[in-house]
Amino acid sequence: MIEPNTMRKVDYWIGIPLCFILTIWYKLQRLVGLKNPKYNEKPKNILLIELAEMGSTVLAYPSIKKLKQMYPNSNIHFLLFNHIGASMEILNVIPKENVLTIEVKSLFSLIRDTIKFMFVCRKKKIDTVINLEMFARYSTILSYISGAKKRVGFYKYEQEGLYIGNFLTHKVIYNPHIHTAYSFLALVHALQSPIDEIPMAKFSITNEKLEIPKIFLDKKAKQNIWKKLKQINPSINENKKIILVNPNASKLISIRKWPLENYAKLVKKLVQDQNICVAITGVASEKPDAEYIVNYVKNQRVLDLTGKTTLRELVNLFNIGSVLITNDSGPAHFASLTDIHIIIFFGPETPELYKPLSGNCTVMYSNYACSPCVSAYNQRLSPCNNNLCLKSIDMERVYQAVKKVVYK
């Protein structure tokens, strides 16, 4: 898979000149009467773009529901990178045939699928694109080459921001002080904003409810997930309290990790209770972190599940678990689709923007003066070389928070 820093370089060195060229081309087209946005026409085939952040697909759910409410006769599509495609299947809010993907295993696959994307959009007659990515040039370019006449996205206006050209038809100011789910809703509202309104999407967020679906276990799924746990440790049974630990974060912002040694010490203290089992989750590439914890604790009630669950099975695990302890990452948002209690660490990013949409959530945040240091304005690339904002969160404090939930 293409490394995040490589993607950032491509977005910068290729994205900037392409955005400039497309801006000139768009202005020339408008001069001769082409590319008319047709503001007064209702969208018929809408495409939302959210490429890289798996958790953001959950945060986009209220916006998708809003679109369906505003345009009940429209056909809604969603574009994301192939490796997080399962996130849309879990939400079950967009038909499978309307979920488009781009493979990023290599630059060749990225270019190939980008070209393919142009033809697919025209076949599906995409007329409106809502770009949920914040100041990402690649997704902005995708919105243009889709052929859509209406293109909605975040625009910097007089703010500091990344250059994305000037070919959006519906420009929304990015507000770094409201939850990301509300920012996504602003993009949807822009479709019904007056044409001369600057910036678009003037509405009160207090009138919008951020509702997401709940996914519950049926009898068979529950039996299967317990069977998977018992295959690792046959002594586990339904009377045990399952605590899930996600010590990982995506490579896009790896600085979001609470120290691994803190996780290990916390797990060791938790399993002192004979009634507690800890399951460590993650994809196969994150197994070294799980192995570190397992080797440190040396207890059979610590299970390494890295690479052993699908996204659906992970959600099933959340349904039988008591607590999820996690870094700020995708699993926290998918846990919000269940009733599990989430204990989540924030530091480089702020919970004001990315807290899971769950009523059962405890945020661990140190409120450092330098936090948050990653944002939409710096492509989430922090200069920090020592994330004290996370290191300062004491293990004992986290243990007491877990204890409060488990023994309530």
Q: What is the pLDDT of residue 252?
A: 65
Nearest CA to 192 among 125, 130, 131?
130
Residue that wins the pLDDT comparison between 360 and 160: 360
Average of pLDDT values for 165-186? Answer: 94
> Which segment, 1-10, 173-182, 251-260, is predicted with the most confidence on average?
173-182
Average of pLDDT values for 283-306? Answer: 94
Omega before 247 within 30 of 0, i.e. cis: no
> For 116-149, what is each residue's pLDDT tens digit?
999 999 999 999 999 999 988 999 999 999 999 9
Helix (H) or strand (E) holding 237: none
Query: Residues 6 or more apart from 107 whose CB is under 8 A from it?
Result: 2, 10
Residue 152: burial class (beta carbons within 10 Å; 0-12, 13-18, 19+): buried
Assigned token pair, 216: 């519950």
Residue 335: burial class (beta carbons within 10 Å; 0-12, 13-18, 19+): buried
CA 299 – CA 11 distance, rounded (Å) = 46
Q: What is the pLDDT of residue 160?
A: 67
Average of pLDDT values for 30-36? Answer: 90
Residue type at 386?
N
Q: Are 249 and 260 in contact (CB under 8 A)?
A: no
Omega before 372 within 30 of 0, i.e. cis: yes
Helix axes 287-297, 260-270, angle to 10 degrees: 40
Sequence length of the chain is 408
Q: Are 76 and 48 in contact (CB under 8 A)?
A: yes
- Return left, alpha or beta for 109; rule: phi > 0 is left, psi -120 to 50 is alpha, else beta: alpha
Q: How confident is the model at residue 302 (pLDDT cuts 50, 70, 90)?
A: very high
> For 145-164, what is each residue's pLDDT tens digit?
999 999 999 998 887 668 89
DSSP 392: T
Residues of the chain with pLDDT > 90: what percent?
A: 79
CA 6 – CA 277 distance, rounded (Å) = 39
Nearest CA to 2 among 388, 390, 10, 50?
10
> For 100-113, what is each residue's pLDDT tens digit?
999 999 999 999 99
Among 100-104, 159-163, 188-192, 223-227, whose mean pLDDT is lowest? Answer: 159-163
Q: What is the mean pLDDT of the chain?
A: 93
Omega before 356 within 30 of 0, i.e. cis: no
Q: Using the Cα atoms of residue 242, residue 245, residue 250 and residue 256 in order, give the sign of their dihedral.
A: positive
Average of pLDDT values for 256-269? Answer: 95
Look-up: residue for tokens 């440190």? 296
Look-up: residue for tokens 């990015």? 174
**β strands within 86-182, DSSP E:** 99-102, 128-131, 150-155, 170-173
Q: In 10 A of CB 133, how many CB atoms?
A: 21
Q: In 10 A of CB 408, how many CB atoms?
A: 7
CA 104 – CA 8 distance, rounded (Å) = 13
